[in-house]
Chain A
Amino acid sequence: MHQQVPILKIDDFWIASVQGSLHDQDVIEFKQALLSKIMQPKSRGLIIDLTVLDVVDSFVTKTLIDIRGLAKLMGIPVIIAGMSPAVAITLVEMGLSLEGVDTALNLQKGLDKLRNAGKER
């Protein structure tokens, strides 16, 4: 039994909302699904929403960093939105501060950020 992460599209932005903790296999599938979506022409940005996620492991974190690197190669900005304090503390304690990854407090602010970034270009 595995968990699908819904990947939605608003305007030209992709939004993936991670629900609950993911197994390693799910994480790999999630990454593949995301990459195939943002490969599509006209994609302008990706938001990964972690609002309901309360546990992360190092593999998920590594995948987040990977996704950001790959998307950057494709010219797509990535924003991580709605991380909870518990997750943030865990990551910092593990020494993974996701350097260079853009963050936003919530989905709305993430979208605003992407739109602004689009305008500046």
Chain B
Amino acid sequence: MEQEIVEFWADSRDEIIGKCIKLSVNDAILEPGEGYQGNRELLFDSLWNALLGDMQAGTWAKTEELVGGLAREAIRYGRDVEPIQRIIEILMESSHEAAKAQYQEDPGKVSMITGHIREYLDKAMIILAKSTIKAQAEVIKKQKDYLLELSTPVMPLLDGILVLPLIGTIDTRRARQIMDNLLSGIVEAQADTVLIDISGVPIVDTQVAHHLMKTVQAARLLGARCIIVGIRPEFAQTIVKLGIDFGTIVTKNSLQAGLKLALKWHNYELRRVGGGGPDASTGTNS
């Protein structure tokens, strides 16, 4: 019986593909999908071949490979997966029609045959959904890693002075990364002074304040002093309201003030040589 159904599908291949193409012309979802309208014939064909191959072999391997590959490709190039879903739907409709046309006089047989194809196409849908979610999760993970890489630069400013500008929201994961980066930066540069600029951190809550304290304490254990600069009024209020003791931590209102203090600690002196203002004749950058 199974054999017979598979043979029926194999025989009516041309008919079904033809129907699919007719259905897909002017389809609202397929129309704007880049790359799908042009080679839809190829898509229907390869999907049908994969399904037939799997039916004959009794596996899912070919369908899985094809649909999974399509979903991954769509996600990678930022395309919608809806057209792929639509293609499977159209295949379902046209095969249903083909079965009805063939066995008009026997509704029982029609429902059996369509039930058979439905099983395969449902499986294809599930594969599509699964692959899409998996591909999206991969993309998200990659982006997260990129973001972390970008987000915590430790800059050596002068001999023994580091600057750590913090920008964006700090969560536990990032706080951990910041601490690791800063500590290894301190050891690498053998720096005794670190300026932590938090003016770019939009929300400062207990969690962030706690991480900040821990980072400062760990840096102190290594033998480096931290100056926290750029504390905005809201942050100051949060700190006071929450009753967090910033007691021993050195803070300054601006990066400039912090830098001045750091230079003083290192016995540097910052002063102008010659006349005031940048030299107009050689450009402002000199």
Residues of A within 8 A of B (CB): 80-85, 87-89, 91-93, 97-99, 103-106, 109-110
Find chain A residues with CB under 8 A from B214 CB.
92-93
Check B218–A105 contact: CB distance below 8 A. no
Check A98–B224 contact: CB distance below 8 A. no
Residues of B within 8 A of A (CB): 179-180, 183-184, 186-187, 190-192, 214, 217-224, 248
How far is A98 from B183 in the complex, measured between Cα atoms in Å? 17
| B202, chain A: closest CB distance, angstroms | 25
Q: Which of B192, B221, B248 is close to A88, meaning CB atoms less than 8 Å apart?
A: B221
Check B192–A83 contact: CB distance below 8 A. no
| Interface of A, helix, strand, loop or mixed by DSSP | mixed
Q: Which of B183, B187, B190, B192 is close to A89, meaning CB atoms less than 8 Å apart?
A: B183
How far is A80 from B219 in the complex, measured between Cα atoms in Å? 13
Check B218–A88 contact: CB distance below 8 A. yes
Say yes or no: A103-B218 contact (C-beta < 8 A), given A85-B183, A89-B183, A109-B192.
no
For the complex with contacts A85-B184, A88-B222, A110-B223, 19 further pairs of A-B residues with Cβ separation under 8 Å are A80-B223, A82-B223, A83-B221, A85-B180, A85-B183, A85-B187, A87-B221, A88-B183, A88-B221, A89-B183, A91-B221, A92-B221, A103-B221, A103-B222, A105-B192, A105-B222, A105-B223, A106-B223, A109-B190
Say yes or no: A105-B220 contact (C-beta < 8 A), given A85-B183, A89-B179.
no
**Closest residue of A by beta carbon distance from B224:** A105
Most B CB contacts (10 A, CB to CB) among A88, A91, A104, A106 go to: A88
Check A81–B223 contact: CB distance below 8 A. yes
Q: Which of B183, B186, B187, B221 is close to A97, meaning CB atoms less than 8 Å apart?
A: B221
How far is A81 from B186 in the complex, measured between Cα atoms in Å? 13
How far is A110 from B179 in the complex, measured between Cα atoms in Å? 23
**Closest residue of A by beta carbon distance from B176:** A89
Check B217–A83 contact: CB distance below 8 A. no
| B245, chain A: closest CB distance, angstroms | 11
How far is A91 from B187 in the complex, measured between Cα atoms in Å? 17
How far is A103 from B183 in the complex, measured between Cα atoms in Å? 14
Find chain A residues with CB under 8 A from B219 CB.
88
Check B186–A105 contact: CB distance below 8 A. yes
Say yes or no: A92-B223 contact (C-beta < 8 A), given A85-B184, A105-B186.
no
How far is A110 from B192 in the complex, measured between Cα atoms in Å? 11
Say yes or no: A109-B221 contact (C-beta < 8 A), given A85-B184, A89-B179, A92-B214.
no
Find chain A residues with CB under 8 A from B217 CB.
92, 97
Find chain B residues with CB under 8 A from A80 CB.
221, 223
| A108, chain B: closest CB distance, angstroms | 9
Question: Can you show 17 pairs from A to B with CB atoms below 8 A apart?
Answer: A80-B221, A83-B222, A85-B180, A85-B186, A85-B187, A85-B218, A85-B222, A89-B180, A89-B183, A91-B218, A93-B214, A97-B220, A103-B220, A103-B223, A105-B190, A106-B223, A109-B192
Check B192–A92 contact: CB distance below 8 A. no
Check B223–A104 contact: CB distance below 8 A. yes
Find chain A residues with CB under 8 A from B224 CB.
105
How far is A93 from B221 in the complex, measured between Cα atoms in Å? 12
Find chain A residues with CB under 8 A from B183 CB.
85, 88-89
Check B222–A92 contact: CB distance below 8 A. no
How far is A93 from B175 in the complex, measured between Cα atoms in Å? 13
Find chain B residues with CB under 8 A from A103 CB.
220-223
